[in-house]
Amino acid sequence: MYKKESVMDWVNELPRLILGAFGSVGFGIIYNINKKYLPAIWLGGFIAWLAYVVSLRVMTSMFMQALVSGFIVAIYAEIMARSYKAPSTIFFVASAIPLVPGKPLYECMNAIAEKNMSFALSKGIETVLFAIGIAGGMGIAWCICDSIRKIKRAGREKN
Amino acid sequence: MDTDKFLNTLIKMAESMQNCGSEVYRTEDTLRRIGRAYRSEEIDVFVIISNIILTLKMRGEEAKTRSRRLDGSSGNDFAKLERLNALSRSVCAHPIDPEEFDKAIEEINNTPKSDAVFIAGSMLASGSFAVFYGGSVIDGIISALIGILIYNMQKHLSPVCLNKFAFQLCASLIAGFCAFIAIKLIPGTHIDKIMIGDIMLLVPGVMFTNAVRDMLLGDTLSGILRLIEALLLAAMMTMGFLVSLLLAGHV
């Protein structure tokens, strides 16, 4: 019973996943990214939102959801950068776009407009925390990737 | 080799990289590598988002310093960044004449960009995010149309604005106002969904990630400057959209 429901949930989530990924491609075009990377950007946007949707079901803390999603996108960007031999920023920046907390920011603004200050405050904190979470997640990923690179280089120099 | 000319070329390289959205670390590292490839005795580079200071000492010469004030270093042009990256790699492997190097940078800087592609990108981004956050197809189309407007404002309005904060305020005010008019004229549309699509276009998300990246890579000062800039831009954008939301609540 539970399983069937969750399968339906996933089917309902699919159009959003695909759309969010196209949003990433749109930003890829705005940032003038080389056309041959656009499929990778699409997949990156897809993975970003997928990571968020999965973490939404596994974790309760919003900060941790952001952290894990940011981490996964950053790892994806690093892998793509290695395989295409291009700067990883290119892949990261556009892929992470669906994670940008535009919705809580809007809700915060709307609450201010409706003079619902406590709701505005909680949404504002949510926006900031989410942004910090993504930044933290990608920071952890970069640290790990950088260390791996240095360890590999040290190993190569020894041989 | 003329050290003065070479210094100018290096500064131009750094400026071009900063203007197309490179991290400070990448810019500094590139310049150091090029300096070493051209057999300079010492090369010192210090870049923050608004300034470049470069000191170069060639063998048997006095050390020379050049600095440059940067403005408008918030654009992102990754195709250009990639080409500059490739150029620096090839130059490091086989140092070419500084004048040729200079010409190559100029050529990359002067590559024209086509408007149509960027308009398509803006439409795709704002439209798909409006639908992504639960809007209808009409919401998506309106959001995409406002996306075109935002692109045109970025092109024509930002040069006449005092600074980017003023521009951000103007752009979000106008975009929000258009969304407000659209929901009044067309029944069944949602102001929240339309606005979210356009917020995504204006939100300084990339700047925020770049700020964090700069700080993690050790350029704390640049990171802080960029972070504050991003926060101010976000605040300006919020104010701009807030006006039309207040309007929507009262009219």
- B175, B202: one domain: yes
- B127, B246: one domain: yes
Residue A119 contacts B, CB cutoff 8 Å: no
pLDDT of residue A79: 92
- B136, B163: one domain: yes
Q: Does the pLDDT at position B146 exceed 90?
A: yes
Token representation of residue A150: 């240095």
pLDDT in tens, A30-75: 888 888 899 999 999 999 999 998 898 888 888 999 999 999 999 9
Residues of A in contact with B113 (CB under 8 A): 32
Q: Which residues of B75-93 are buried (b: 16+ CB within 10 A; e: fewer)?
A: ebbbbbbbbbbebbeebee
CA distances from A43 to A37, A82, A92, A147 (A): 10, 16, 11, 26
pLDDT in tens, A110-141: 888 888 899 999 999 998 899 889 988 988 99
Q: Where does a domain end: B58, B82, B109?
A: B109
pLDDT of residue B73: 54
Nearest CA in chain A to B215: A139
Token representation of residue B131: 């639908």
pLDDT of residue A2: 46
- B140, B246: one domain: yes
Residues of B in contact with A30 (CB under 8 A): 76, 118, 121-122, 125, 201
Nearest CA in chain A to B247: A113
Residue A104 contacts B, CB cutoff 8 Å: no
- B141, B103: one domain: no
* C-beta atoms of A97 and B241 within 8 A: no
Q: Does the pLDDT at position A12 exceed 80?
A: no
How many whole angstroms separate alpha carbon A93 and alpha carbon A97? 7
Of A30, A109, A114, the CB nearest to B238: A109
pLDDT in tens, B71-81: 765 578 888 88
- B120, B173: one domain: yes
- B136, B105: one domain: no
- B130, B244: one domain: yes
Residue A38 contacts B, CB cutoff 8 Å: no
pLDDT of residue B141: 92
Short-list B204, B200, B188, B154, CA closest to B174: B154
pLDDT in tens, B157-196: 888 888 888 999 999 999 999 998 888 898 888 888 888 8
Nearest CA in chain B to A18: B132
Of B208, B210, B242, the CB nearest to A113: B242
Domains contained in chain B, number: 2
pLDDT of residue B143: 92
Short-list B61, B89, B87, CA closest to B1: B61
What is the predicted ipTM?
Answer: 0.83
What is the domain range of residue B46? 3-109
Of A33, A87, A110, the CB nearest to B245: A110
pLDDT of residue B251: 62
Residue B34 one-letter amino acid: I
- B79, B196: one domain: no
